[in-house]
Structure 1
Amino acid sequence: MKNNNFIWQCLFGLAAAFGSVLSHAQIQGNYFSHKDWEIACDNTGTCRVAGYQADNQSHSISVLLQRAAGAQAQVSARVKIDREAFGRELKQLQLFIAGQSFGFVKIDSKTDEGQLSIAQTQKLIQALQGKEPILWKWNKFTWALSVDGASAVLLRMDDFQKRIGTNSALLRKSTASSDQVLKPKNIPKVNINSYVKGLQARHLIHSATSKQIFKQIKHTTTAEDCPLVFDTNFSADDRVVVFPLNSQYAVVEVPCWRGAYNVGNGYWVMDRQLKQVKQMVTGTGSSFSEGQIFSNQRGRGIGDCNSVEEWSWTGKRFIKTYQARTEMCRGFAGGAWDIPTLIYRVQLSS
């Protein structure tokens, strides 16, 4: 059985591979974190940088800086707080940098987010490269945004978007033209084709049908990916679920592993007779619906750091169409922001 620490290490183990060589690579999603900051750049060239309070601070706050690829793209900034303990009276925060006020940011009552002005954003970016305190205040309460790690992730953003040494760089700026910076890409599209919704079949875990399925999927997976299939340490309530995809194919859902607050299901595309595996999709899935497989794995029980993935049916196979993760566990239930490394526009064809 997989434990949560191992799963989490696997999900995040490639973060260190995000190096400067990426500035010469084709657009692909990447994630990197350092101290109190993290960055995710997606397959369109857009980068999202998120910073948080230091670990020893009790009031949760986060800032998101977002910038698309392209010479003329500007940085936008939003601030978010966890204000459950402060009630709905909180309608704005006042920004202080090095003890000087830089005005107010209106906080939306539904999202707990606020949009910074252009001037506030520029001042914030400058402050993130220094050591002066960045504080947000309301009445007698204060939220402190950490600057530790900010310069590292801002440099990663410039590097990914090929801005280093140009006039559009945030760090290591020069007068060189930005004509050769990374060009933005459109969000790719995928249609969920040849999908026909039908009645699912649920099989007892030790039924003849389940045993037939296990025999086939063992050829396409390992005990590391789906230990329950190999050690048969299933629970009495476990079921093998078969969802029809069309007249030729079905997707099979099998319990694979359990942790303290995570579970992982495996998903395989098989022929409708359940005699041949066409594709193994994932061993860390959570659910299937409307031609898509979803995975949401928590970094810890309250879900303030997690990994999210989605796969969509093309008519012949599943392809990954969304991927995002947050490694910072800083008190925001569900995570403070969506910072994807892979995005698609998915449409269910009629």
Structure 2
Amino acid sequence: MKNLAWLSLGLMIGQFAYADPIENGISFTSGDWEIVCDNTRTCRAAGYQNEDDGTQQPVSVLLTRAAGKNQAVVGQIRLGATDTDPTDTEVQMKINGQNFGKVSISKDGDFLGHLSSAQVEGILSSVKKTSLIDFIGKQQKWRVSDKGVAAVLLKMDDVQGRINTTGAIVKKGALTEANVLPALPKPLITTVKVKSSPVQWNSTQLSQLRAALKATFKSDDDACSMLTDPQEGASEISITRLNDQKLLTSALCWRAAYNEGYGYWVIDAKAPYHPVLVTTDASDYQEGKITSAQKGRGVGDCWSSESWAWDGKQFIHTGASTTGECKAVAAGGTWNLPTFVSTVR
């Protein structure tokens, strides 16, 4: 059985070749673990409680490693609760009963702790076998599932080019890390101040604009059904100035149980407008920045977000991230797991 398990992990390496290009980030989930690598090749692996066991308290461990040779894995833990908030200011970490020392837990309400290098190494050394990863307080215990951890950390090795090197976590080898993949720089995005003055158009102009916006979608595209589907009703169109030649227009595109998405287009100030779609999932616009924030489920314990900024000619994608799995660990989400990062100035 053990050999079959490792054969499965080996096959996954081949599957990873079909992942999205690193320029757009990479996400992968196995069991109770997930990994998200951003466009710089920094990877963040998060493990959670096994929800199949209804006795387990919500908890998550985050393991972060930057790309490049000789980079250490950094660990954090976040405690959650099903009934009452944790009261412990420190917890004992144990793996298969072996004591790995205490972890101090923050007192500011986020229940966050930082793992020592020895505690991180304890987790990394346990991934090839069945392991009980426990954090024990005075009255509560939190257990991080080991289901999927080996596959996720093998993915981290693969994305960063560490497989068969001495620095690999899962599939170590004799090669040095001299030729592992380097960290990639964050894209530099220079923004331009916008005029941000609202524009008022008459009904004829708005009708022409609506037709131009609809034409940016194919007939079978439902990404903006509240604009394109007459049965949904006419979505109100808003217009604001970006500069003397370009305007930004928006309209409600869709609405779901606990989310909604607005479409944003850059248009010419005069007909035929030539609209260029930025997104249909936006939540807000302020002073040259479009943002999107969407819940993963109604209780709000998991979110995804994106952002775009005006560079004087177009809106440039500046960021994308999630807060991790919907595991009820923390209100507003457990971690910041970006797939795309940039430097904006």
For the aligned pair, the TM-score class normalised by the smaller chain equals: 0.7 to 0.9
TM-score (norm 2): 0.87
Change in CA separation of 1:27 and 1:345 when aligned onto 2, cut-off 3 Å: same
- Distance in 2 (CA, whole Å) between partners of 1:74 and 1:51 is 18
- Tell me which residue corresponds to 2:5: none
Cα deviations across residues 200-253 of structure 1 (Å, max 9, x unaligned)? 34789xx444322211111212442211112235579x5322122112111111
| Displacement after TM superposition at 1:119 (Å) | 0.6
- Distance in 1 (CA, whole Å) between partners of 2:23 and 2:228 is 38
User: How much is the aligned-residue C-alpha RMSD, in angstroms?
Assistant: 2.6
- Distance in 2 (CA, whole Å) between partners of 1:202 and 1:169 is 60
Match status 1:53 vs 2:49: yes
The residue type paired with residue 126 of structure 1 is: S
Match status 1:36 vs 2:32: yes
- Distance in 2 (CA, whole Å) between partners of 1:170 and 1:183 is 17
Change in CA separation of 1:341 and 1:293 when aligned onto 2, cut-off 3 Å: same
- Where 2:126 maps in the other structure, the secondary structure is helix
Checking the alignment, whether the CA contact within 8 Å between 1:203 and 1:241 is kept in structure 2 is no
- Distance in 2 (CA, whole Å) between partners of 1:17 and 1:166 is 15
| Displacement after TM superposition at 1:51 (Å) | 0.7
- Where 1:192 maps in the other structure, the secondary structure is coil
- Distance in 1 (CA, whole Å) between partners of 2:67 and 2:24 is 13
Match status 1:79 vs 2:54: no
- Distance in 1 (CA, whole Å) between partners of 2:129 and 2:162 is 20
Checking the alignment, whether the CA contact within 8 Å between 2:58 and 2:82 is kept in structure 1 is no
| Displacement after TM superposition at 1:18 (Å) | 9.7
Cα deviations across residues 253-273 of structure 1 (Å, max 9, x unaligned)? 110011111111111001123
- Tell me which residue corresponds to 2:156: 157
Change in CA separation of 1:179 and 1:214 when aligned onto 2, cut-off 3 Å: same
Checking the alignment, whether the CA contact within 8 Å between 2:226 and 2:233 is kept in structure 1 is no
- Tell me which residue corresponds to 2:274: 277
Checking the alignment, whether the CA contact within 8 Å between 2:13 and 2:158 is kept in structure 1 is no
Match status 1:308 vs 2:295: no
Q: How does 1:96-245 map to 2 (within 5 A)?
A: 96-110=94-108, 111-193=110-192, 195-201=193-199, 207-222=203-218, 223-233=221-231, 239-245=236-242
- Where 2:17 maps in the other structure, the secondary structure is helix
Change in CA separation of 1:191 and 1:17 when aligned onto 2, cut-off 3 Å: farther
| Displacement after TM superposition at 1:139 (Å) | 1.1
- Tell me which residue corresponds to 2:89: 91
- Distance in 1 (CA, whole Å) between partners of 2:341 and 2:22 is 16
Change in CA separation of 1:17 and 1:167 when aligned onto 2, cut-off 3 Å: closer
- Distance in 2 (CA, whole Å) between partners of 1:18 and 1:328 is 25
| Displacement after TM superposition at 1:83 (Å) | 4.9
- Distance in 1 (CA, whole Å) between partners of 2:107 and 2:199 is 44
Match status 1:65 vs 2:58: no
Checking the alignment, whether the CA contact within 8 Å between 2:95 and 2:134 is kept in structure 1 is yes
TM-score (norm 1): 0.86
- Where 2:120 maps in the other structure, the secondary structure is helix
Q: How does 1:318-333 map to 2 (within 5 A)?
A: 318-326=315-323, 328-331=325-328, 332-333=330-331
Change in CA separation of 1:108 and 1:201 when aligned onto 2, cut-off 3 Å: farther
Structure 1, unpaired ranges of 5+: 1-15
Change in CA separation of 1:19 and 1:203 when aligned onto 2, cut-off 3 Å: farther
| Displacement after TM superposition at 1:182 (Å) | 0.8
Structure 2, unpaired ranges of 5+: 1-11
| Displacement after TM superposition at 1:72 (Å) | 1.1
The residue type paired with residue 142 of structure 1 is: K
